[in-house]
Amino acid sequence: MSQHIKLHMLTRLHRYNVPTAIFDDTDEEQLAAIADTAAHRLIDLEIVNAISSGKIAGSIVCPAQVWGAGEGPTSPTSGQITDIVTKSIYNGAGVYVGSGEAEWINVEVTDLCELMLMISAHELRTPYASPPPKPHSTFYFASHAVLHTWAGLASAVGEALKSKGVVASAETKSVPCPPYDPKQKGVRVEDAERSQADKEVDASTPSWPCRTNCRCVSSRARQQFGWRAKRAFDHEAMKNDALHVIEVLAKSPGIDALRKK
């Protein structure tokens, strides 16, 4: 089970936010209509087809932005929050793209782990279904009910950076959205050939997951397991998570290494 981000849920921003559809994980027709060009979609379909054909018992969990301090042996931070903090250090201010009104779903890492353990326990104690589950009937969004905006997160990041003396002011800054490049859809920017101008944009501008919309409802987990994400990603939580990321970055690669030269 891994993090999946559906590009069809995401709208590229220029100056103003464009509202997008709200996806519900119990609406299987809506899930089945996801375009094959969406990021991770072909991988999802392989899993969905294997489950619905009875080859495996399994589920897909889609948490989008995970926040909170990780306790495992690998990454202790959120990729998206780390990206915002890193770009804010480079810009000398809490940074967001366009109007900053775009919204994303979020879930605290402990809440997410609880859901994944619930699903795993269910899969282990439940015999293979006969007939197998319908396609997308074991697909779960994992999110708190309250979404966050990127401008809101930038504000909290700016306060955290100022409290640590990394920036002089807690002010925030809007940067323009780079032109949309379909060749980069679903791949890392650093995997593509980049000009020097591109590299400057990459260094100063939040990555595409941090300038888009992702609006989903976690209905299936609530109905099946009574699960709800308990920990809200409010302003205080954003600031505390940013402080955690700053501490990690201060150790490696070091704050000065992230400043604009």
Give residue limits of the domains in the chain: 7-182+194-258
State the pLDDT at residue 182. Answer: 61
Q: What is the per-residue burial (b if ≥16 Cβ within 10 Å, else e) of 74-101?
A: eebbbebbbbbbbbbbbbbbbbbbbebb
State the pLDDT at residue 21. Answer: 83
- Which residue ranges in the chain fall short of pLDDT 70? 1-19, 180-194
State the pLDDT at residue 12. Answer: 37
Distance CA 66, CA 124 (A): 25
State the pLDDT at residue 188. Answer: 46
State the pLDDT at residue 127. Answer: 73
The CATH code of domain 7-182+194-258 reads: 3.40.50
Task: Please list, in sequence order, all residues whose beta carbon lies within 8 angstroms of the beta carbon of residue 88, skipping any fewer than 6 positions away.
Answer: 94, 95, 154, 157, 158, 161, 167
Secondary structure percentages of the chain, helix, strand, coil, to 5: 40, 10, 45
Distance CA 57, CA 68 (A): 30
State the pLDDT at residue 9. Answer: 38
Distance CA 80, CA 64 (A): 10
CB atoms inside a 10 Å sphere around CB 159: 19
State the pLDDT at residue 184. Answer: 56
* pTM, entire model: 0.85
CA distances from 206 to 53, 68, 172, 173 (A): 40, 19, 13, 12
State the pLDDT at residue 151. Answer: 97
